[in-house]
Amino acid sequence: MRKPSKLSEVAKLAGVSPITASRAVRGVGYVSEATRARIMEAAARLHYTPDMLARRMRGDKSNLIGVFVNNYGSVVLHEMIRTISDHARQRGYDLIIFNAERFAGPGRLGTSEMLSKLCDGLLLVLPTCGDLYLDVVNECRFPCVLMNFEAQDMNVPVITVENRIGARTATEHLLSLGHRRIAFIAGTPGTGQSAERYKGYCEALAAAGVEPDPALVVQGAFNQTSGYAATEQLIALPQPPSAIFAANDEMAFGAMDALKSRGLSVPGDVSVIGFDDIPTSSYVFPKLTTMRPPYDAMGERAVTEVIALIQGAEIKPAKIRYGLELVTRNSTAPLART
């Protein structure tokens, strides 16, 4: 195996002193553009990679942003990371991604300390890591931004969507089609997003004068399997729903699968609406009606916020919310009159 190139080798190939090569690579101090270009070309030819940990120990910036995730299988998460990565690279930063799923216990909290030593800042996306970890985040003074989080007030910026308003819009859409027995499939409670979507669902029903039926609210887990199981429970009711609002698209896919397996038509027999507008939503059959978040704007704002903190902005609480768009496709239709 080839040994990693040293900075001294880069300096020799570029015909400069090691100090000048160091300045160019670190982006610290004056180096002419022509000399910097020659040094960076030499570094590329030698496949030289700076020691990020050494840079951090010297007090330099690593130009790395750490991203904590808690469910790497989530399609929404992939969409968020894609936009975050695009905007971070436009600003000269790269990402390190850490899967914090089942992240619990004081013995694991050192991971964030390790990442903080390597990275300039942290983004926590869907952080269901438990109260202990969130308490650590709340108390630290390290550049940190949370995304898609509603469960509690935090002392750091939080980027999220208007979950309650979006859910109210989704439910109002079903009400406008004549549906009154509208079911809600809830997601896991960790981030607080499902709870906000449930509140929006209840608000829309109340405004329409519809009495909520507790039997029409079933717990899911933000995945397709749980949406299937919840729907089987709903259609077994003596008075099954004519429409289902699933708290995310993946559970909506499960709902449609369960309905089809029982010989029911979507939307002929039961209308289904989701939340998130993941790419698959426009390819399933029927195409899914859903609520679309502005993923690109959210990713850009998250990167802007964490870089501002990296550059010395004061860390203070802020809840930055984004509106959603109702995307009407083929999975919802007017209530069939009998």
Quickly state the pLDDT bin for 226 (edges 50, 70, 90).
very high
Q: What is the mean pLDDT of residues 247-268?
A: 97
- Mean pLDDT, the chain, rounded, equals 86
Whether 52 has a pLDDT exceeding 90, the answer reads no
State pLDDT tens for residues 86-134.
998 888 888 888 776 655 444 455 555 656 667 888 888 865 555 556 6
Query: For residue 19, how far is the Cα from the chain centroid?
Result: 42
Q: Which two structure tokens, joined as six digits, stand for 65?
A: 């942003």
| Inter-CA distances, 193 with 40, 79, 161, Å | 46, 17, 9
- Do 130 and 72 touch, CB atoms closer than 8 A? no
Q: What angle do CA 120, 122, 128 make, to 5 degrees?
A: 165
pLDDT at site 106: 47
Residue 146: φ, ψ to 5°: -100, 150
59 or 294, which is more confident:
294
Signed CA dihedral, 309, 312, 318, 321: sign only: negative
| Inter-CA distances, 116 with 170, 220, 330, Å | 40, 34, 46
**Cα Rg of the chain (Å, integer):** 25
Residue among 254, 201, 213 nearest 237 (CA): 213
Distance CA 258, CA 291 (A): 21
Quickly state the pLDDT bin for 138 (edges 50, 70, 90).
low
Element (H, E) at 306: helix 295-310
114 or 75, which is more confident:
75
Distance CA 41, CA 19 (A): 17
Distance CA 75, CA 249 (A): 10
Whether 24 has a pLDDT exceeding 50, the answer reads yes
State pLDDT tens for residues 263-300.
999 999 999 999 999 999 999 999 999 999 999 999 99
